[in-house]
């Protein structure tokens, strides 16, 4: 945040375009670099959600899977909100086999 950013906010001016350019580039390059089409990414998102939904109750609509990139390294980032019950505990599912799997904490 710079003085100019604050001034722009106060005057309700548009955000400086360099920020917009940087954000748009980061997004488009993450996709360019992996060669994953939006369709494939969406299919992968759904399959990942299905797998996770076997173990914990998640909000299928809220779950987001995206590509983020930094220093020519691209990461697949999944943000999957896990539903909680009335007491606030994470809602895990009864597993069919007896392996003890620790549900991961929400980030």
User: What's the CA gap between 54 and 9, in Å, rounded?
Assistant: 45
With binding defined as CB under 8 A, does residue 40 bind other proteins?
no
With binding defined as CB under 8 A, does residue 75 bind other proteins?
no
**Six-digit token string for 41:** 């990414």
Among 9, 13, 28, 75, binds other proteins (CB under 8 A): 28
With binding defined as CB under 8 A, does residue 32 bind other proteins?
yes
With binding defined as CB under 8 A, does residue 13 bind other proteins?
no
Among 9, 11, 12, 21, binds other proteins (CB under 8 A): 21
With binding defined as CB under 8 A, does residue 37 bind other proteins?
no
Our measurement of the distance from residue 53's CA atom to the centroid of its chain's CA atoms, rounded to an integer in Å, reads 16
- Cβ burial of 80 (10 Å; 0-12, 13-18, 19+) is buried
Strands 64-70 and 73-79: antiparallel
Is the Cβ of residue 69 or residue 82 nearer to other proteins in the bound state?
69
- Candidates 101, 41, 98, 47; CA nearest to 74 is 41
Our measurement of the distance from residue 66's CA atom to the centroid of its chain's CA atoms, rounded to an integer in Å, reads 5
With binding defined as CB under 8 A, does residue 10 bind other proteins?
no
Which residues sit at the interface with other proteins, rule CB under 8 A? 1-7, 16-19, 21-22, 24-26, 28-29, 32-33, 71-72
């Amino acid at each position: 945040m710079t003085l100019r950013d604050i001034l722009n906010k106060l005057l309700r001016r548009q955000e400086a375009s360099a920020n917009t350019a940087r954000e748009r580039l980061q997004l488009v390059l993450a996709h360019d670099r992996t060669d994953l089409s939006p369709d494939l990414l969406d299919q992968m998102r759904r399959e990942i959600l299905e797998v996770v939904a076997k173990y914990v109750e998640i909000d299928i609509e809220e779950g987001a899977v995206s590509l983020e990139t930094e220093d020519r390294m691209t990461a697949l980032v999944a943000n999957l909100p896990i539903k909680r019950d009335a007491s606030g505990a994470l809602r895990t599912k009864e597993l069919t086999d007896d392996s003890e799997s620790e549900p991961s904490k929400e980030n």
